[in-house]
Amino acid sequence: MVKAIVGANWGDEGKGKITDLFAEQSDVVIRFQGGANAGHTIICDYGKFALHQLPSGVFYPHTTNIVGNGVALNVPAFMKELKQLEDGGVPMPHIIISERTQLLMPYHVLQDTYEEERLAGKAFGSTKSGIAPFYSDKYAKYGIQVCDLFHESLLMDRLKSVCAIKNVLFEHLYHKPLLDPKALFDELMGYRAQISPFVGDALSFVRKAMKDGKQALLEGQLGTMKDPDFGIYPFTTSSHTLAGFGAIGGGVAPTDLKSIVAVTKSYSSAVGAGDFVSELFGDEAEELRNRGGDAGEYGATTGRPRRVGWFDAVATRYGCMVQGATEVALTAIDVLSYLDEIKVCTGYEIGGKVVRDFPVTPLLDQAKPVYTTLPGWKCDIRGETDYAKLPQAAKDYVDFIEKEIGVPITIVSTGPKRHEITYRH
Ligand code: GDP
């Protein structure tokens, strides 16, 4: 059986904590998309870790952690993450990197950086980690699969043909130094030495695990709004952030995917550019940002301050629908305890009409939030483990959101730590 943990919004919903929770009961944890451009924050018995590419099962000796074929594998960043675990006293986890996973190349990072420079003010807010050029190359069939590292003459030929294309761009569009296929080849041989112990046939491993009745977890990065098809394109990422893509990027059979947990925060946050209808500004935003998350709303990978706002029921209803959510985990309800009143965005006003369906990007630009105001609870609920003991106003807030989004909220998280969790229903 496969369960997916995915984001209903713009990412940073607290998926890391929820995945960590479910990872305990899973035999296999699979990363199926994205790369080192975003991260989960996990606070466990070993301490606090920001995981970017490593699956969240790495803290449990009984799980096999799979870097799926849909991932953009940044080898130096991957090795750095492993080292951080080792330094933190975490025993060496069991990891399989799919032989079909593609490598994020040094020139992807360069290209991303040069392109952001070229676009200057019109940039899309890339983290400059090479993700967009990586996926462009993958679909243009210029990518390098991990298995290519073990076929040297084929690899050299591919590098020569990639460099011929890239060097036209680097010379004439970006006016930057040219790439040398031989230097890249040598670098890749270094990658091979580092990742060899982990490379394997992830697809067969996962399919066999399913046959043997094991539990697998698909771990999503970012959220619905960052999906290139259903998100706020072009202010999206370049890989699919949807549970359905787990069947491709994680190599699981679509029919094995039985449970989809969409994670959403009790307020909204987003990084990067693009319209964010319920965004707050000024002092109100500053206060929520500083109280949010475990140490303020700042990017786990980039340290960038996150944009924050009220809970957006329009975006979340859509986000859950697109994910095919079977249940919802609502995180960080403790953060709202300081507020006298809490607003929820229940509609968008577009051209004088109130709509409840999330619009396409050009219309999003015109949308004004329509709010319903609910009373706050004004007492500290951080760390509560019994849902029944939450103040009535907090439970009413959860009921209201559940009714708005139309998917059962089964988990309400009351703090960043593993045990700070309540179960509902
Ligand atoms: P992810 O990418 O979805 O895993 O989200 P991140 O880990 O980047 O961001 C979520 C932030 O919220 C992190 O700082 C978490 O430690 C924190 N967090 C998760 N759940 C809760 C919660 O219930 N309460 C509070 N206060 N913080 C939480």
Instruction: Give the Cα-Cα-Cα angle 108, 306, 246 (nearest 5 degrees).
Output: 55
Q: Give residue 294's pLDDT band: very low, low, confident or very high (50, 70, 90).
A: confident
Q: What pLDDT score was predicted for residue 39?
A: 74
Ligand 1 pocket mutation, candidates 5, 31, 41, criterion most atoms within 8 A of CB:
41
Atom 9 of ligand 1: nearest residue by CA position: 12
Residue 23 Cβ < 6 Å to ligand 1? no
Beta bridge partners of 29: 65, 217
pLDDT per position as a tens digit, 71-88: 999 999 999 999 999 999
**Residue 6 carries which DSSP code?**
E
Q: Give residue 234's pLDDT band: very low, low, confident or very high (50, 70, 90).
A: very high
In single-letter form, the type of residue at position 123 comes to: A
Crossing angle for the helix pair 181-195 and 106-119, to the nearest 10 degrees: 120
Residue 323 Cβ < 6 Å to ligand 1? no
42-51, 107-116, 206-215, 387-396: the lowest-pLDDT one: 42-51
Percent of the chain with pLDDT over 90: 86
Q: What pLDDT score was predicted for residue 57?
A: 92
Cα first-last separation, the chain:
22
Active site residue 40: yes
Integer angstrom CA distances of residue 258 from 5, 134, 193, 218: 12, 31, 38, 11
Mean pLDDT of the chain: 94
Residue 7 Cβ < 6 Å to ligand 1? yes
Q: What pLDDT score was predicted for residue 324?
A: 98
Residue 274 Cβ < 6 Å to ligand 1? no
pLDDT per position as a tens digit, 337-396: 999 999 999 999 999 999 999 999 999 999 999 999 999 999 999 999 999 999 999 999
Please tell me the number of Cα atoms within 13 Å of 326 on its side-chain side. 10
What is the distance in A from the centroid of ligand 1 to the CA of 396? 22
Q: What pLDDT score was predicted for residue 272?
A: 83
Pairing state of beta strands 341-350 and 353-355? Answer: antiparallel
Ligand 1 pocket mutation, candidates 12, 267, 418, criterion most atoms within 8 A of CB:
12
Which whole number is the average pLDDT over 400-404? 98
pLDDT per position as a tens digit, 10-47: 999 999 889 988 999 999 999 999 998 777 778 888 98
The full DSSP string for 157-214 is: HHHHHHHHHHHHIIIIIS--PPP-HHHHHHHHHHHHHHHGGGEE-HHHHHHHHHHTT-
pTM: 0.94
Q: What pLDDT score was predicted for residue 126?
A: 67
Q: What pLDDT score was predicted for residue 192?
A: 98
Q: Which two tokens stand for residue 178?
A: 């040219």
Which whole number is the average pLDDT over 131-152? 97
Q: Using CA atoms, how far apart are residues 238 and 228, in angstroms rounded to an integer?
A: 6
Instruction: Give the Cα-Cα-Cα angle 351, 356, 357 (nearest 5 degrees).
Output: 90
- pLDDT exceeds 80 at position 122: no
Residue 16 Cβ < 6 Å to ligand 1? yes
Return the exposure string of 140-171: e unless at least 16 CB atoms fall within 10 Å of the residue's CB, then b. Answer: eebbbbbbbbeeeeebeebbeebbeebbeebe
- pLDDT exceeds 90 at position 124: no
- pLDDT exceeds 90 at position 187: yes
Burial of 294 (0-12, 13-18, 19+ CB in 10 A): middle
